[in-house]
């Protein structure tokens, strides 16, 4: 049913296999970069009809934490040859938006020989090729997004050193056999009906549904899909008519797919949609957190910048809830142990000491002002008390005379009696 499309895919693959020069592989030196695949894998390849130097492809599933290596068999179709547990990946489900958002990419990327790094500080590494045409069409930024060893990630897919040695060997051998580049497909999760039903309300669902078409094409054909971008979206296994070409930001040209693929895809999609419908009334496992778009990406990028400067920040990057609320996964603060961190710690300590001295100086000046004001108030009070004390004897001396005078000046009945008594006394010579 797919024989026509398979032949087309193989023809494209043959063109893609045009020679890789030795100079492109000269960097693959050293024991770790030249380490051969273990015998158990070589035995499996022989059993599956996979030449040692046949082309490879990789698939990544974030939620499941898996990195798969698929290898071309002698019949041209690919089969799974190795599956590894991802040691660590950073960020959440969802695509990478901007430099510093700590998101591991999702999408379709290509890796050429020049992207291998045998001298990586993370044992061995290869650059995923982010940003690709789709990312650039959406203005997304970022650099040095890798698959590497060291089990440490800030936006990469990190493996153990032993794992990355095997993955590196698969790529190295394929390039030696003539493969010019291999495809790496990065997905948020395995795109099963259950998982798509779990995430149907996620803000990234439209993006994931677009990726799923390429996912399905590979599941149907077992050949890496031809990937292009037009109208800022991925298109898979499309052949432009005539001399037309694809422009990532331009209108999609007239294009077509093999009829066998169209038929197989529609049949698969009908079955898939029916399967998703069966989950409408079922209780599904809770979905994992995903990035809330560019707003959260900017929030994390700012945290990353401050952390790289050595500032004290929460130990984990912030997140944004569906209602726009910002939360931190931990209240614990810390700074990165690096030259920048130690330099910033020294600057912070000097600033803190300067602030302490300024506060002590300000406190001493305030204390002096308070003591001066207290002395002024005390002097004023003493003066007032002295004046009151000096005025008190004068008031005491004049008080009786005034009292007698007031008594003598008294009138009324008793005053009249006193006056008549005095007159009588005078009559009798008293």
CA atoms within 13 A on the CB side of 382: 6
Q: Are 96 and 294 in contact (CB under 8 A)?
A: no
Q: Are 194 and 215 in contact (CB under 8 A)?
A: no
Exactly one of 20, 148, 217, 230 is catalytic; name it: 148
Q: Is 309 exposed, middle or buried (0-12, 13-18, 19+ CB in 10 A)?
A: middle
* Residue 148 among the catalytic residues: yes
Q: Are 126 and 146 in contact (CB under 8 A)?
A: yes
Q: Are 188 and 63 in contact (CB under 8 A)?
A: yes
Exactly one of 20, 87, 123, 156 is catalytic; name it: 156
Using only C-alpha atoms, what is the Rg of the chain?
Answer: 44
Q: Is 243 exposed, middle or buried (0-12, 13-18, 19+ CB in 10 A)?
A: exposed
Residue 282 and residue 351: Cα distance in Å, rounded? 58
Residue 196 and residue 198: Cα distance in Å, rounded? 5
Residue 163's φ and ψ, nearest 5 degrees, are -65, -45
CA distances from 232 to 111, 248, 249, 300 (A): 22, 5, 5, 25
* Residue 123 among the catalytic residues: no
Residues tagged active-site: 148, 156
């Amino acid at each position: 049913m797919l024989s026509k499309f398979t032949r087309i895919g193989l023809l494209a693959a043959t063109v893609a296999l045009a020679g890789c020069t030795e100079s492109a592989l000269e960097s693959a030196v050293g024991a770790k970069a030249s380490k051969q695949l273990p015998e158990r894998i070589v035995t499996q390849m022989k059993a599956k009809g996979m030449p040692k130097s046949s082309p490879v492809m990789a698939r990544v599933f974030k939620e499941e934490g898996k990195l798969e290596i698929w290898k071309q068999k002698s019949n041209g179709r690919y089969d799974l040859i190795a599956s590894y547990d991802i040691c660590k990946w950073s960020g959440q489900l969802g695509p990478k938006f901007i430099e510093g958002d700590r998101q591991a990419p999702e999408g379709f990327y290509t890796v050429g020989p020049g992207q291998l790094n045998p001298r990586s500080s993370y044992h061995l590494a290869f650059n995923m090729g982010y940003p690709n045409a789709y990312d650039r069409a959406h203005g997304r930024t970022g650099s040095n997004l890798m698959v590497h060893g060291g089990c440490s990630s800030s936006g990469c897919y990190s493996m153990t050193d032993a794992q990355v040695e095997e993955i590196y060997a698969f790529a190295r051998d394929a390039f030696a056999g003539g493969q010019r580049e291999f495809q790496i497909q990065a997905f948020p999760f395995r795109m099963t009906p259950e998982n798509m039903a779990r995430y149907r309300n996620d803000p990234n669902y439209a993006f994931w549904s677009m990726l799923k078409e390429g996912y399905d094409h590979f599941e149907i054909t077992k050949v890496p899909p031809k990937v292009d971008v037009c109208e800022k979206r991925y298109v898979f296994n499309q052949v432009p008519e005539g001399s037309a070409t694809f422009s990532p930001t331009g209108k999609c040209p007239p294009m077509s797919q093999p009829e066998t693929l169209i038929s197989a895809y529609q049949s698969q999609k009908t079955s898939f949609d029916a399967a998703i419908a069966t989950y409408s009334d079922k209780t599904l496992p809770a979905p994992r957190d995903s990035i809330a778009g560019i707003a959260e990406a900017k929030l994390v990028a700012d945290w990353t910048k401050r952390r790289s400067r050595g500032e004290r920040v929460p130990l984990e990057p912030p997140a944004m809830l569906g209602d726009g609320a910002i939360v931190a996964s931990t209240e614990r603060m810390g700074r990165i142990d690096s030259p920048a961190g130690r330099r910033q710690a020294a600057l912070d300590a000097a600033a803190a000491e300067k602030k302490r001295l300024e506060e002590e100086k300000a406190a001493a000046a305030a204390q002096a002002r308070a003591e001066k004001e207290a002395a002024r108030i005390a002097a004023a009070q003493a003066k007032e008390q002295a004046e009151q004390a000096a005025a008190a004897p004068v008031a005491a001396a004049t008080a009786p005379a005034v009292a007698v005078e007031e008594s003598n000046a008294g009138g009324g009945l008793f005053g009249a009696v006193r006056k008549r008594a005095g007159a009588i006394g005078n009559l009798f010579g008293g």
